[in-house]
Amino acid sequence: MRVEGLYAIIDNSLRPSVSNTEIAEKILAGGAKILQLRGKGLSSKELLSQAREIRLLARKAGALFIVNDRADIALLSNADGVHLGQGDLPIAEARKILGKDRVIGISTHNLEQAIKAKYEGADYIGFGPVFGTTTKADAEEAKGLQALREVKKSVNIPVVAIGGINLENIKEVIDTRADCVAVISAIVKADDIKETTRRFQEAYKI
């Protein structure tokens, strides 16, 4: 499955009144074809349980399912892949766990990291934050659209733009020719998660 379009990240720490599984159901109903489960505050047991539930939902919807950070949880839940941070397992070590058929992506914050990730065997890179974001307490400074364009021109694997992307600025990001836009708070915090997801999907067709 291609890494393109909307890349929806599920994290109910932004909305504790709704479970990650419920968020996943609404996002999938809105037409998203890529989901990532982020469970920073969850125990390994909780994360595995939720990953298995969401994996089943994603499979029924024909969507790609990625687990954030944890290659072991990705393997045990039969996820389609893992998304790594700069401080997580090296790509080569994650590949030993997951094998050649699962997707491995990695967050990058500058051109050097992006090129390094490509040569180390990443299937895609995340780049950002493009705009300012409050979703992550340790987020880097905003990199901007021009930096995103430079990264896109310099690597021949899919580039997922992330950080502060919403319905007001998504067209600017799409115009950089980024393959994907990753969205967290603009979807998870939306009054209508399903409809908001659909609107992000529609932005790619305009």
Q: Which residues contact 172 (CB under 8 A, 6 or more apart)?
A: 145
Q: Tell me if the bond preceding 158 is cis, omega within 30° of 0.
A: no
Query: How far, in Å, CA of 58 to CA of 106, rounded?
Result: 21
| Count of CB atoms situated within 10 Å of the CB of 171 | 11
Would the CA dihedral through 63, 185, 200, 192 be positive or negative? Answer: positive
For the chain, what are the domain ranges? 5-203
Tokens of 94: 């994650």
Q: What is the pLDDT at residue 132?
A: 84
d(CA 136, CA 87): 15
In angstroms, the CA 108 to CA 42 distance is 24
Q: What is the pTM of this model?
A: 0.94
CATH topology of domain 5-203: TIM Barrel (3.20.20)
Q: What is the pLDDT along the chain (206 residues), one digit of tens a residue?
A: 577 889 999 999 999 999 999 999 999 999 999 999 999 889 999 999 999 999 999 999 999 999 999 999 999 999 999 999 999 999 999 999 999 999 999 999 999 999 999 999 999 999 999 998 766 666 679 999 999 999 999 999 999 999 999 999 999 999 999 999 999 999 999 999 999 999 999 997 75
**Residue 205 confidence (pLDDT):** 72
Task: State the pLDDT at residue 103.
Answer: 97
Active site residues: 38, 107, 136
CB-based contacts of 30: which residues, under 8 Å, 6+ apart?
193, 194, 195, 196, 197, 198, 200, 201
DSSP 23-91: HHHHHHHTT--EEEE--TTS-HHHHHHHHHHHHHHHHHHT-EEEEES-HHHHHHTT-SEEEE-TTS--H
Query: Going by C-beta distance under 8 Å and a sequence separation of 6 or more, which residues neighbour residue 43?
Result: none
Kindly report the CA angle at 173 between 171 and 177, in degrees rounded to 5? Answer: 105
Q: Measured between alpha carbons, how far is 196 from 191 in angstroms, rounded to an integer?
A: 8
